[in-house]
Structure 1
Amino acid sequence: MISVDVSKEDEQCLISIREALEVVRGKWSILVLTLLSLGPQRFNQMRRNLDNISIKSLTDVLRHLERYEVINRQVFPTSPVTVEYSLTDKGKAYIPVLRELRIWGENWGEHPKLVDDSKTSLQHKR
């Protein structure tokens, strides 16, 4: 995974962190999870609540979150068909992670300064 010497335990920790962050990759995942933490939502309801996110973007993020089993998609046999999305237990367990990310962002979340190409490490502006 990485080219520096780390213990198997440390490497597994890094893999676990990467997997946790993969759930919320992309622009909309965190917003959709936060919205669903308030309760079940229908597709168009989410579109309105997310400032009219495009149909494609919302569809993509819902499929992504469904693949990671953090949301549930329930189809009701109505005419027209009604689809409702909600958090799974796994998704509900992710909400404290989002709260911690929010706290980190409030404390440290400045935009990083541009990195000089001659530098070998990223520097955070404080």
Structure 2
Amino acid sequence: MSYDDSCPVCRTAEIVCGKWTLLIIRDLAEGRSRFGELERSLRGISPRTLSLRLRALEEEGIVERQTFPEVPPRVEYALTEKGRALVPLIEDMRSYGTRWLGADGDCSSAGPCAPDAVEADAPPAAVAAA
């Protein structure tokens, strides 16, 4: 099967299937966060990977970065309207996981999906297979 630029499912998958992307969106759905807060909530993600994912989401118009002129500088990340439109997709995934996969744990940012035993930058899909 080949990639089709005109297929809305392909285009959406291209964005949301990146490493950690859905978990970053899940966490930002709760409100603005600083880099360190995201890093702590996504236990196992490296700072480099988090930085790259946030930058990619910013380029896609899903996340906005706001820098405050303070010393030291404060940076916060938030979902844009385009990013908030992905939240129902995440809620549907939560419902699916509960109903069909028996995953009934806390799926907030305080309850990371990646266990400590999994490689630090492993994509969340690899976690389910582990």
Q: TM-score by structure 1 length?
A: 0.70
Question: Equivalent residue for 1:83?
Answer: 75
**Pairing of 1:48-67 with structure 2 (within 5 A):** 48-67=40-59
Report the AA paired with residue 35 of structure 1.
D
In the alignment, the residues of structure 2 paired with residue 96 and residue 30 of structure 1 have an alpha-carbon distance, to the nearest angstrom, of 12
Flag structure 2 segments of 5+ consecutive residues without an equivalent.
103-130
In the alignment, the residues of structure 2 paired with residue 25 and residue 16 of structure 1 have an alpha-carbon distance, to the nearest angstrom, of 14
RMSD over equivalenced CA pairs, Å: 2.1
What's the CA shift for 1:99?
A: 1.6
Report the AA paired with residue 30 of structure 2.
L
Selected match of 1:30 from 22, 29, 33: 22
What's the CA shift for 1:102?
A: 3.0
Higher RCO structure (Cα 8 Å, ≥6 apart): 2
SS of equivalent residue, structure 1 residue 102: helix
What's the CA shift for 1:45?
A: 1.1
SS of equivalent residue, structure 1 residue 75: strand
1:96 partnered with 2:88: yes
In the alignment, the residues of structure 2 paired with residue 106 and residue 26 of structure 1 have an alpha-carbon distance, to the nearest angstrom, of 23
- Identity score, percent: 37
Q: How many residues align?
A: 100
Question: Equivalent residue for 1:42?
Answer: 34
Distance 1:22 1:106, change over 3 A: farther
Higher Rg of the two aligned structures: 1
In the alignment, the residues of structure 2 paired with residue 104 and residue 21 of structure 1 have an alpha-carbon distance, to the nearest angstrom, of 17
Q: Which runs of 4+ in 1 moved over 2 A?
A: 101-110
